[in-house]
């Protein structure tokens, strides 16, 4: 069953701790994305990767880091430098053809206290 798996669904951390969100896909898509969703602000792009071992900053990359060592995986680390880390994080993938839409995972809700 092809798809995008984000785990865990809910994550709680103390302020000052780094935390890594998992995103795994078996769609064989080259491109992967991380978005942050906040009420009233929609989805904002954090990082994206068009191919293995390469990634680019999105619009709000500060305080986040990513890696793309495997095609299937694109983990996002929320560092202690991120001032407002509590949010809903969405991972997405995109197929290689020009008109491919984004496919989204079910998201991880991170709460930092």
Partner 1 sequence: AQSVSQHNHHVILSEAASLELGCNYSYGGTVNLFWYVQYPGQHLQLLLKYFSGDPLVKGIKGFEAEFIKSKFSFNLRKPSVQWSDTAEYFCAVTGVHNDYKLSFGAGTTVTVRA
Our finding on whether 20 is near partner 1 (CB under 8 A) is: no
Among 50, 65, 73, 86, binds partner 1 (CB under 8 A): 50
69: left (phi over 0), alpha (psi -120 to 50) or beta: alpha
Kindly compute the dihedral angle of the four CA atoms of residues 104, 106, 107, 108, in this order, to the nearest 10 degrees. Answer: -150
CB 21 within 8 A of CB 111: no
Residues 52-91: x where in contact with partner 1 by CB under 8 A, - otherwise, as a string = ------xx------------------------------x-
Binding site residues, partner 1, CB under 8 A: 31, 33, 35, 40-45, 48, 50, 58-59, 90, 92, 94, 98-99, 101-102, 104-107
């Amino acid at each position: 069953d092809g798809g995008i798996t984000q785990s865990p669904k809910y994550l709680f951390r103390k302020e000052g701790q780094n935390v890594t969100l998992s995103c795994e896909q078996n769609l064989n898509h080259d491109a992967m994305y991380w978005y942050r969703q906040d009420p009233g602000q929609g989805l904002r792009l954090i990082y994206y990767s068009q191919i293995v071992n390469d990634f680019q900053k999105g619009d709000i990359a500060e305080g986040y880091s990513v890696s793309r060592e495997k095609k299937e995986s694109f983990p996002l680390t929320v560092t202690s430098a991120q001032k407002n880390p509590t949010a809903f994080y969405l991972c997405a993938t995109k197929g290689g053809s020009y008109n491919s839409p984004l496919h989204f995972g079910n998201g991880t809700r991170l709460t930092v206290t």
